[in-house]
Amino acid sequence: MAIHPIEFRYGTPEMKKVWDAENKLQKMLDVEAAIAEAEANLGIIPEYAAEEIKRKAKTKFVKLERVKQIEKETKHDIAALIKALAEQCEGDAGEYIHFGATSNDIIDTTNSLLFKESIKILKDKIIRLIKILLKLADENKKRVCIGRTHGQHALPTTYGMKFALWADEMHRNLERLKSAERRLCVGMVTGAVGTTAALGEDGLKVHLKVSKLLGLEPALISNQVIQRDNHAEFIMVLANIATTLDKIALEIRNLQRTEIMEVCEKFDPEKQVGSSTMPHKMNPITAERICGLARVIRSHVITALENNLLWHERDLTNSSPERIIFPEACILTDYILHLTINLIENLVFFDENIEKNLKLTNGLIMAERLMAELAKRGMGRQTAYKIVRECAIKASQERVPLIKVAGEKSEIMEYLNREELKNIMNPHTYIGSAIKIVENVLKKSREWF
């Protein structure tokens, strides 16, 4: 019986496969096999035993159902794993499984392997999203629209600026993910309190060799666990990624509001239903799902930070929450990346509304430019600000174009003629270095991948 929405509603097949119980079991078996191989190479256990352990350390032989059955009796997942693997080994090879190791050597190193697979999927999607945003930035670098601060019309900007800004932020998220991966994806076979005592003078050699066999960097120092600041950092990076996606989706939701409607997510009128009672509704459900799930991902940050607060060389309070937050954070972050890619790739523009909104204030958004031009032509800046502000207030109260009020102001027309005033009030020519800024981002992005 499916209970969690990840089981039937959220997530991509590729990321769910990483965190599937079968894959996790195989990764645990891989770690046990690597320990046996490393110890055989160092003469700690017999070569034949290591070969048999490696041969049988496959879910083809060690069945998930059997491991679960044993765990019901032992109340210990790694003890169940060891027994299930030993049952499949011929001769006395099973006696050498897990020699000198502790449970968390298996659990933490397994998690590192799962994180490594997850991060590869995440990186691929982030790069794809960045490339889509860069393409849109290039295509829309001259598409002038109104910029809003505090929810109010401010100055003209371009859609290219929006997309380039998001691409740059997603690139920073990519770099954070790569940086966190180096500290997170490490191997550990250091025993009960991190001293490798059970393996004597060969302990560190086993630790190093197992990590190498598994393609991981060895942890420099640990106690019974890889320290959880690494895991907290990873969850925080995922939360940061989710928040950027939340930001993108929130902006699209706002721009899709009926009274704005500059862009909207794709809606299939032949099949899609917006409301069970209002036939006209076409809701931004994809963007809203991104924003909603981002909250869940962010909520895991506090738990991840608290998991670093373990008693002495370690207690078990981190274990139960990690079984939830690790797969959830990875699966949901990957899923909303997938949703954002689809959202951005299929974005619909309404140029008539973009232009309408640009002119909505009857030219009030050009007040800054008018003030600046007057100052450049000899009027004091503070005086220019005062006069233009008076004009803007009058234009707003009387609901007439700013150009009309300004044209009737003798103090202003001493410095400008009618044609100059008309040119100054054109929002399409007041985007500063916006095009160049976007082009700089596009140029810099060639070094990103």
Nearest CA among 92, 72, 96, 90 for reference residue 82: 96
State how far the Cα of 340 lies from the Cα of 237, in Å rounded to an integer: 17
Residues written for the chain: 449
Two tokens, residue 192 = 């009960």
DSSP 150-204: TTEEEEEEEHHHHHHHHHHHHHHHHHHHHHHHHHHSEE----TTSS-GGGGGGHH
State how far the Cα of 449 lies from the Cα of 439, in Å rounded to an integer: 17
Q: Indicate the domain borders of the chain.
A: 13-99, 101-266+277-354, 361-445
Residue 186's beta-bridge partner residues? Answer: 217
Residue 113 buriedness (CB in 10 A; 0-12 / 13-18 / 19+): buried
End-to-end CA distance of the chain: 43
Residue 61: what pLDDT? 98
The phi and psi torsions of 218 (rounded to 5 degrees) equal -75, 140
User: What does pTM read for this prediction?
Assistant: 0.95
Average pLDDT on 221-245 reads 98
Q: Could you report the per-residue pLDDT of 131-160, keeping only the tens digit for each? A: 999 999 999 999 999 999 999 999 999 999
Q: Could you report the per-residue pLDDT of 395-427, keeping only the tens digit for each? A: 999 999 999 999 999 999 999 999 999 999 999
Average pLDDT on 113-120 reads 98
The phi and psi torsions of 314 (rounded to 5 degrees) equal 150, 145
Average pLDDT on 111-138 reads 98
Query: Beta-carbon neighbour count of residue 21 at 10 Å?
Result: 11
Q: Could you report the per-residue pLDDT of 339-398, keeping only the tens digit for each? A: 999 999 999 999 999 999 999 999 999 999 999 999 999 999 999 999 999 999 999 999
- Does residue 277 carry a pLDDT above 90? no
Two tokens, residue 157 = 């900007």
Q: Are 310 and 228 in contact (CB under 8 A)?
A: yes
State how far the Cα of 50 lies from the Cα of 36, in Å rounded to an integer: 5
Task: Could you please state the CATH topology (level 3) that the domain comprising 13-99 is classified under.
Answer: Fumarase C; Chain B, domain 1 (1.10.275)
Query: Beta-carbon neighbour count of residue 346 at 10 Å?
Result: 12
State how far the Cα of 329 lies from the Cα of 326, in Å rounded to an integer: 5
State how far the Cα of 432 lies from the Cα of 444, in Å rounded to an integer: 20
pLDDT band at 266 (very low <50, low <70, confident <90, very high): confident
Residue 264's beta-bridge partner residues? Answer: 348
What lies within 8 Å, CB to CB, of 410 at 6+ separation is none
- Does residue 445 carry a pLDDT above 80? yes
Two tokens, residue 306 = 């608290």
State how far the Cα of 341 lies from the Cα of 245, in Å rounded to an integer: 10
Residues annotated as part of the active site: 150, 275
Nearest CA among 426, 391, 386, 423 for reference residue 405: 391
Q: Are 329 and 322 in contact (CB under 8 A)?
A: no
State how far the Cα of 129 lies from the Cα of 18, in Å rounded to an integer: 21
Q: Are 46 and 40 in contact (CB under 8 A)?
A: yes
pLDDT band at 284 (very low <50, low <70, confident <90, very high): confident
**Phi-psi category of residue 311: left, alpha or beta, with phi > 0 → left and psi -120 to 50 → alpha:** beta
Residue 349's beta-bridge partner residues? Answer: 263
Q: Could you report the per-residue pLDDT of 30-85, keeping only the tens digit for each? A: 999 999 999 999 999 999 999 999 999 999 999 999 999 999 999 999 999 999 99
Two tokens, residue 355 = 């232009």
CATH 1.10.10.10 fits 361-445, yes or no: no
CATH 1.20.200.10 fits 101-266+277-354, yes or no: yes
